[in-house]
């Protein structure tokens, strides 16, 4: 049986153990990257495809009749045409929950760095501003303790709950935004409408999928409704927050700061309104929240289990 990994560079495989994958009774071919135009030739008569971000649409499924399984090396399946997969009897399996702790950790890293204004102070030290002071310290930028501050979480799945547990350790008050206000299954966290929580939020963090209903969930009106000291953290999907509106709000001092790990177009080769040196109260990271070596190894190991289940005629993490 033949299999191809269309974008193996997307998981930085050189730092991972591929032993379990190579032990499967599959003749693998690895491609660092694959363009849409290269898909048909590279898949050829392979029965199994591993993909992270390479789209698998109706056209490619029609062109590759031997294809039997698409194993997504990620949680999100927006690059897969699920309906087309069902039509062509192609199985689709993804991996959920592998990066919950890592993304929550990255979320808290951004939140803590913003609350302490770490980046701006570090830049000033490197620029010689501390050395030029008469006093023993620099206190030019606002900082605040997280204890007692209200953290609004949008998306209260595994990642959102992990963030809540970590934030509670810093003494934060957790508020959960939902379009269907109720209580969670444990009856502990009250869910309230986002528009009701925006004016009282000290920080807001996103852990929900990007859908037509959540696109531009935060736009100019929502930003204006927030405290001028409020922080926005987005480690979910770029389209949840209108980037132009966020950039302007940061420049105008309408909110306190933002930590962003995701953009609408990645990588931002054509530019992005947030990549502006004039914006000082912003931390940008390159969609790396899921990137710890342990996390990516867990992801790969789960992919192996998905493929192994398929070979054994079993259903595991199947979406078809």
pLDDT digits (tens, 9 = 90+) for 248-276: 999 999 999 999 999 999 999 989 999 99
The C-alpha atoms of residue 235 and residue 159 are separated, in whole angstroms, by: 10
Are 48 and 24 a contacting pair, CB within 8 Å?
no
pLDDT digits (tens, 9 = 90+) for 105-121: 999 999 999 999 999 99
**Candidate list 195, 266, 294, 314, residue with the active-site label:** 266
The C-alpha atoms of residue 249 and residue 256 are separated, in whole angstroms, by: 9
Q: Is the dihedral of CA 41, 86, 8, 310 positive or negative?
A: negative
298 tagged catalytic: no
* In this structure, CATH architecture of domain 2-98+293-311: 3-Layer(aba) Sandwich (3.40)
Tokens of 32: 């660092």
Structural domain boundaries of the chain? 2-98+293-311, 100-284
Q: Look at residue 19 in the predicted model and tell me its pLDDT.
A: 96
Confidence of residue 142 (pLDDT cuts 50, 70, 90): very high
Q: Select the more confidently predicted residue: 312 or 209.
A: 312
Class of domain 100-284: alpha beta
The C-alpha atoms of residue 147 and residue 144 are separated, in whole angstroms, by: 9
Is the predicted pLDDT of residue 311 greater than 50, yes or no?
A: yes
237 tagged catalytic: yes
**Candidate list 287, 298, 316, 318, residue with the active-site label:** 287
The length of the chain in residues reads 320
Q: Look at residue 185 in the predicted model and tell me its pLDDT.
A: 46
**Candidate list 237, 243, 254, 302, residue with the active-site label:** 237
In order of 43, 79, 94, 310, the CA distances from 62 in angstroms are 12, 16, 21, 21
266 tagged catalytic: yes
Global pTM value: 0.90
**203-223 mean pLDDT:** 95
Is the predicted pLDDT of residue 137 greater than 60, yes or no?
A: yes
């Amino acid at each position: 049986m033949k299999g191809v990994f269309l974008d193996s560079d997307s998981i930085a495989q050189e730092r991972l153990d591929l032993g379990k994958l190579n032990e499967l009774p599959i003749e693998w071919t690895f491609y660092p990257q694959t363009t849409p135009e290269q898909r048909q030739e590279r898949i050829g008569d392979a029965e199994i495809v591993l993909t992270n971000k390479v789209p698998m649409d109706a056209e490619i499924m029609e062109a590759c009749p031997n294809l039997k399984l698409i194993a997504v090396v990620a949680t999100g399946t927006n690059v897969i045409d699920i309906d087309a997969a069902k039509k062509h009897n192609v199985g689709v399996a993804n991996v959920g929950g592998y990066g919950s702790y890592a993304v929550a950790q990255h979320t808290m890293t951004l939140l803590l760095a913003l609350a302490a204004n770490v980046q701006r102070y570090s830049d000033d030290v490197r620029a010689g501003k501390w050395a030029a002071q008469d006093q023993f310290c620099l206190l030019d930028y606002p900082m605040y303790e997280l204890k007692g501050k209200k953290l609004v979480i949008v998306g209260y799945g595994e990642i959102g709950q992990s963030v809540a547990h970590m934030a509670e350790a810093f003494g934060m008050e957790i508020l959960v935004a939902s379009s269907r206000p109720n209580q969670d299954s444990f009856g502990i966290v009250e869910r309230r409408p986002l528009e009701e929580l925006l004016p009282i939020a000290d920080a807001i963090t996103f852990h929900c999928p990007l859908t037509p209903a959540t696109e531009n969930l935060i736009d100019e009106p929502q930003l204006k409704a927030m405290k001028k000291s409020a922080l926005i953290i987005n480690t979910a999907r770029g389209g949840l927050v209108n980037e132009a509106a966020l950039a302007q709000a940061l420049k105008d001092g309408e909110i306190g700061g933002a930590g962003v790990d995701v953009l609408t177009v990645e990588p931002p080769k054509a530019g992005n309104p947030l990549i502006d040196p004039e914006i000082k109260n912003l931390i940008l990271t390159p969609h790396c929240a899921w990137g710890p070596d342990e996390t990516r190894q867990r992801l790969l190991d789960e992919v192996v289990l998905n493929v192994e289940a398929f070979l054994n005629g079993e259903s595991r993490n199947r979406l078809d």
